[in-house]
Amino acid sequence: MLPSSSKPVPEGQEKIEKWMAFPPVNSHQPHPNSNEINEESNKPAISQEMVNRAAEWGLVVKSESAKDAGGVMVGLISAGEGGTSSSSMERGAESRRTSREPSFTTKTPRVSQELKDALSTLQQTFVVSDATRPDCPIMYASAGFFNMTGYSVKEVIGRNCRFLQGPETDQRELAKIREAVRTGKSYCGRLLNYKKNGTPFWNLLTITPIRDDRGKVIKYIGMQVEVSKYTEGLNDKTLRPNALPVSLIRYDARQKENALSSMTEVVQTVKHPRTHQHSEDNKDSVKLDEHDKFPVESPLLNSAETKYYKSPSRLSPMMDFKRNSSRMSSTKSGRSSLMGFRGRKQSTVEKTETIVEPEILMTKDVERTESWEHIEREKDIRQGIDLATTLERIEKNFVITDPRLPDNPIIYASDSFLELTEYSREEILGRNCRFLQGPDTDQGTVSKIRDAIREQREITVQLINYTKSGKKFWNLFHLQPMRDQKGELQYFIGVQLDGSDHLEPLRNRLSEATEMQSAKQVKATAENVDEAVRELPDANLRPEDLWAIHSQPVFPRPHKKNNSSWLAIEKITREGEQIGLKHFKPIRPLGCGDTGSVHLVELQGSGELFAMKAMDKSVMLNRNKVHRACIEREIYSLLDHPFLPTLYTSFQTTTHVCLITDFCPGGELFALLDRQPMKIFKEEAARFYAAEVVIGLEYLHCLGIIYRDLKPENILLQKDGHVLLTDFDLSFLTSSNPQVIKHSSPTRRRRSRDQIHPIFVAEPNTQSNSFVGTEEYIAPEIITGAGHSSAIDWWALGILLYEMLYGRTPFRGKNRQKTFSNILNKDLTFPSSIPASLAARQLIHALLHRDPASRLGSNTGANEIKQHPFFRDINWPLIRCMTPPELDVPIQLIGKEPESNAKDKQLDDEEMLIQTLEAF
């Protein structure tokens, strides 16, 4: 690495790539070869523990002169060979002085025991380098780093990380690292490194600068994870004839997206070691007493208003129609959790709960400390995460091949397949499956498979295959062709099942009963794969075809076709002109999301303002986002609702795709909430915003859309104060099944005013299993991989209502892994210091039921939620006419006044677009 530039870079401009959660590492494991730290470490006066702990910080412990044999000196290991120079000995003598002494002038980084103890609790593999010294020497390395590389403490501390480089390390990646260090920016990339014994390995490296109060970079954190088993390696540069990657999934992008939480935890620990250590020491101190616990799964207690919620039916027997219907086409078979979480086992026996007075129900005294404020309200953008598609969450042994390419190569292999065969992903992508054959593989069976491929038909066979190490296994293999909408062959799906443990010794094959049962399993897996892979774009499409939907014309929907924005757009299109970038003038940036940035623009010559969402094509290709962008465009074109945005036009340039939608001058609900005292809304305001969100979600569900990313940042405020749900790049689009549910006729005639009217229900009728959403708002079934329906949006509504009333979300932890654990296991409680009505707490509780089948809204959708006592004062048919409640800090409308650098600009071409995005 090069020494960092002293030019300060505002921390707010730093973009930390997302990262994957790391496997646990024993932080107390002794460092390898720690006995080599000092030649004199065997002297009785110096403990080995002292040597090890000092060496971690680049210090070496030595005995002093013979006349003072009991003394100890601490000196700095040199950046070269690890010896101690006279100057470092002098610095070591000075280091024995207390920090109160003004004469402490050494340039050696002063490391506190507090920071060291805090870092030692982290499980990540990382190093901390000193950016204030030439060559950025390593001043701390985690135990995982020594275990991964094989180097000793003496060989690492005080040196630059370039000792991991070797003959095949990509010099272009090294140049990126040097530039990042020179300019004080972050870096995330994969490069080939070498262990001490010379073994090469793929290292996914994330570098993040740490700045002081003046903005100067003082440290660099370098976090590593070995990805040799699962990365596509050099295959990421192998292209198909259509210039797209051979691999169906870009694995490097997936792992980078998982980086955010892990790196964030290390950064926050370095910046705030006391807060981290406090949270470690007190992680169990806020547990409720046994009589105060109120588990999320518990049925609500009996009170004047709780009869409404009795399980299993909340309203009446007719409300249970959904449980007995088969409208959900479940594809749960073989799907599991990406993060390794499993949900609580649901009991069929209803638990008996202790009766608690309603006014103290579900409340707990929680002191709002400074550390809580730092953890819970830290400035972050809470971006949506896209950890896995449905395809990637099928935990079975299978591959997908493309017969349209020469030799029918593998374009996708599941993690389970890699574990079974012992191959890495890099070794098999782009190859034919014949590498599994060996001496005892029956060639007659192989011929049957070839015939099935030639005839494009499915087949199930048994044969002996071999792992990479040469181990035999009995493979029940199912081959299934997959066809596109035109009926043409698109892919082959190959599913393997290891039947070695079920062989009959005499017949040397599976029994008929076992074969029949196993054949059903592999066929079911193939069907799940077939369904999941259809969510992704065809790998054989030309690059220009991927974005074709963004060039399709947009036609006005009935309810807004006469508004001024549409009239201004149609004035251009009526003349036969195609709207593009040149028609818009940039005014100001409005924000940035997971896949792009949003800008306030003006339609030239009309005075009409719009929001333009611009997304970089190359970024979406590299991050597996193409299908997300296309689904978002399709969803926008379906919307026609006062609480949802209107799509006026969309277009593409060589580098970007752009959507033109409504501009909301009220900004984000998140910003409005953040400006309120205590960062909370009064209950009247929370009820108003929640009610309008319910109406918006109801409409989306009627169209077969599962929103999947409800949060305050995605709720915009119109000029009149009403809401607008936006950002659909993580949404799932399927069909819906409209139904009219009638009540059974009463036994005696009732007055007409007492009659219950039929209910219209239209909910999405298929499930998804993608791992998407925003960390604090993700529902339990997404984490466990059980498959999810529209009920996840009602869970998110419960989290939203909690955040509006209490200023924080209920399950957020210090990192992503802890947050997900809390979502699955932590009891739901409400701070008693913040007043909220019993009805509000009951509604949140009913929405945050971990079992989606028992969650409020799971039977008849929004109808159940609208009837809740919390919304008693809402006039649902006239909600659009309601006056938004007064707030302590009112909405601040965003004006048209352009920023100084945006004046008189016109987006004539894509180069201007890129320059404008960078300027914003």
Cα–Cα distance, 834 to 831 (Å, whole number): 6
Cα–Cα distance, 298 to 260 (Å, whole number): 34
- Close Cβ partners of 444 (under 8 Å, ≥ 6 residues apart): none
**How many CA atoms does the CB half-sphere of 630 hold within 13 Å?**
15
Alpha carbon 825 to chain centroid, angstroms: 19
Cα–Cα distance, 131 to 220 (Å, whole number): 6
Cα–Cα distance, 144 to 125 (Å, whole number): 5
The answer to whether 314 touches 864, Cβ cutoff 8 Å, is yes
Over its C-alpha atoms, the chain yields an Rg (Å, rounded) of 31
User: What sign for the dihedral angle of Cα 545, 550, 553, 555?
Assistant: positive
- 635 — phi, psi (to 5°)? -65, -45
Cα–Cα distance, 881 to 282 (Å, whole number): 49
Q: What is the 3-state secondary structure (H, E, C) of 590-644?
A: EEECCCEEEEEEEECCCCCEEEEEEEEHHHHHHCCCHHHHHHHHHHHHHCCCCCC
Q: Tell the residue number behind the tokens 């620990």, with chain if given.
A: 269
Q: Tell the residue number behind the tokens 């994870």, with chain if given.
A: 225
Closest CA to 553 of 612, 607, 633: 633
Closest CA to 330 of 849, 768, 858, 853: 768
> What is the full DSSP assignment across 243-278?
SSBSSSS-HHHHHHHBHHHHHHHHHHHHH-HHHHHH
The answer to whether 846 touches 362, Cβ cutoff 8 Å, is no
Cα–Cα distance, 443 to 463 (Å, whole number): 9
Single-letter code of the amino acid located at 492: F
Q: For residues 589-607, b (16+ Cβ closer than 10 Å) or e, as one string?
A: bbbbbbbbbbbbbbbeebe
Say what angle helices 791-806 and 838-847 make with each other, to 10 degrees.
Answer: 150
Alpha helices in 16-170 (DSSP H): 48-55, 86-94, 113-120, 143-149, 153-156
Cis upstream peptide for 312 (omega within 30°): yes
CA angle 147–151–157, rounded 5-degree value: 110
The answer to whether 534 touches 627, Cβ cutoff 8 Å, is no
The answer to whether 803 touches 829, Cβ cutoff 8 Å, is no
Closest CA to 407 of 435, 388, 426: 435
733 phi-psi bin (left φ>0, alpha ψ -120 to 50, beta other): beta
Is 345 annotated among the ligand-binding residues?
no
Q: Tell the residue number behind the tokens 């950025």, with chain if given.
A: 136
Helix (H) or strand (E) holding 513: helix 512-533
What does DSSP assign to residue 335?
B
Pairing of strands 705-706, 732-733: antiparallel
The terminus-to-terminus CA distance of the chain in angstroms comes to 30
Active site residues: 709
What does DSSP assign to residue 551?
G
* 37-to-41, 116, 138, 139, 195 alpha-carbon distances in Å: 7, 18, 15, 15, 19
Binding residue ranges for ATP: 613
